[in-house]
Amino acid sequence: MGSVWWVVCEVATRVGARNIRPAGRVVRAASPHVRTHPGRRHREEVTRMSSTVELTKENFDQTVLDNDFVLIDFWATWCGPCRQFAPVYEQAAEENPDLVFGKVDTEAQPELAAAFGIQSIPTLMIVRDRVAVFAQPGALPESALTDVIGQARELDMDEVRKSIEEQQAAPDGQ
């Protein structure tokens, strides 16, 4: 499957495509803009956009905490490539009803975009068990998105967590 790209993605953590390193370095940066909300939110409180969930600073943390596998599309209405990617992302959401497909409108949610260091849109991020296992800017074609979802499904998260622990235990942090 090639090298695994991951970073720790805990609640109130900033993750951006520029910060991702091939398996070997954990990047963590706390963000004051994304806060944990006490209590459990009911899934009905999350706004649905067709087969996708509208993610906001109010529901982002709980969505990631409550779900083992979340795909996140950072987008904006004025973005041409975002509009081209939207039907591909929507189709993937319909074909994978067991996964959560979220969308962050970077214009309406600048705090989330800033917290994750989003500098280019669209950016796709995949979070499994609160670990970002994929983040990449650019509109993916259908076949590439299907492949990325398949690779993320096949990841052994115990191995990923073990690798994270080893990296955190390394004396120089690398």
DSSP secondary structure, 47-78, as one string: PEETTEEE--TTTHHHHHHH-SEEEEEEE-TT
Distance from C-alpha of 33 to C-alpha of 43, rounded to nearest angstrom: 23
Q: Which residues are known to be catalytic?
A: 79, 82
Residue 174 pLDDT grade (very low, low, confident, very high; cuts 50, 70, 90): low
Flag whether 168 is in a domain: no
Query: 122 or 10, which is more confident?
Result: 122
CATH assignment at residue 133: 3.40.30.10
28 domain residue, yes or no: no
What does the block give as tokens for 172? Answer: 């120089």
Is the residue at 144 inside a domain?
yes
Which domain covers residue 101, as residue numbers? Answer: 7-21+45-158
- Label residue 118 by pLDDT band (50, 70, 90): very high
Confidence of residue 36 (pLDDT cuts 50, 70, 90): very low
Query: What is the C-alpha to C-alpha distance for residues 124 and 140, in angstroms, rounded to an integer?
Result: 9
